Amino acid sequence: MDDFEAAQERLHARQMEFLKNSSPDDWHRYAFFFNWNERLDGLFWIVGQPQCDRSTALLIFWKGEPTGYDYEEDDEPMGDDIYAVAPMLRFISERFNSGGYGRAEIAYDFLEATGHDAGSEYASVIEAGRLRDFEALVERQKDVPNARVKLHPDMMVLRVPGRKVGGYDDHSDFYDRFPEDDDGFEAAAAAPDLSDNRGVVAADRTGDRRADEGADPSARIRALRHRANADGDEAADASQATGVAGWLKGLFRR
């Protein structure tokens, strides 16, 4: 293990310790801004906690893009592979189907979770996409014998009432407290730089940034993401937003 890898392991240990000493609200903030290129064991830990909020579990499940995995058939225990999404999706589904997530204090809005708002020009298109995801999963799971891994009705929701936590307007000091570097190395993007525009997260220790148009309802859209320059080139963001919107319109005309 080289010096950078060792520093990253120490950093990860500090971040996990921070989560374990934080509130369910902070767990939700962590999940809201999480960079899915990173190791997932922080999310594994959160969804397994007794006090994990229902909205946090929904947020993580749908950001995990369940339509892109046959997670119902996955038999790998969650955590064996720190990058494996499918076992976590299965775990969340099983928990919803066997008692659920008892804490229900935090609001959830799928549009905000995907980088949009109700006033967005494409909100209705994005909403139609999520409804199609519901339908696709229910159809796919008709012949699955284990009812505990199927999509529970409480998971087929677009919004959950509650306190607003973790959105782009949440000015918590969470990321001032969250461990971000170790031994002079910058963290590998577990936490975003909130000084940038929405959807832009720290990408690696060289200081590069990855621009994300925010539309993340399924693996189909994730494939459309592209790299942007370090200053958050607005033209690149606008170009990608237009491209995603056009692609979605074409999808729903089929």
In order of 11, 15, 21, 123, 226, the CA distances from 178 in angstroms are 10, 7, 11, 32, 27
Scored b (16 or more CB within 10 A) or e, 47-61 reads bebeebbbbbbbbbb
In order of 19, 64, 67, 100, the CA distances from 104 in angstroms are 19, 20, 25, 10
State percent of the chain over pLDDT 70.
71
Give the integer Cα–Cα distance in Å for 119 and 100: 32
Instruction: Name the residue with tokens 């975003």.
Output: 192
> Residue 170 — pLDDT band, cuts 50, 70, 90?
confident
Residue-wise pLDDT for 17-27, tens only, equals 999 999 999 99
DSSP string, 120-152: -TTHHHHHHHHHHHHHHHHHHTTT-S-GGGS--
Scored b (16 or more CB within 10 A) or e, 121-149 reads ebeebbbebbeebeeebeeeeeeeeeeeb
pLDDT of residue 183: 52
Average pLDDT along the chain: 78
Average pLDDT over residues 54-66: 98
Give the integer Cα–Cα distance in Å for 232 and 209: 8
Stretch among 81-85, 222-226, 248-252 having the lowest mean pLDDT: 222-226
Is 0.75 surpassed by the pTM of this model?
A: no
What element of type H or E holds 200? strand 200-202
Residue-wise pLDDT for 119-136, tens only, equals 888 999 999 999 999 999
- Side by side, the strands of the sheet bearing 200-202 are 200-202, 209-211, 226-227
Among 166-170, 178-182, 233-237, the range of highest mean pLDDT: 166-170
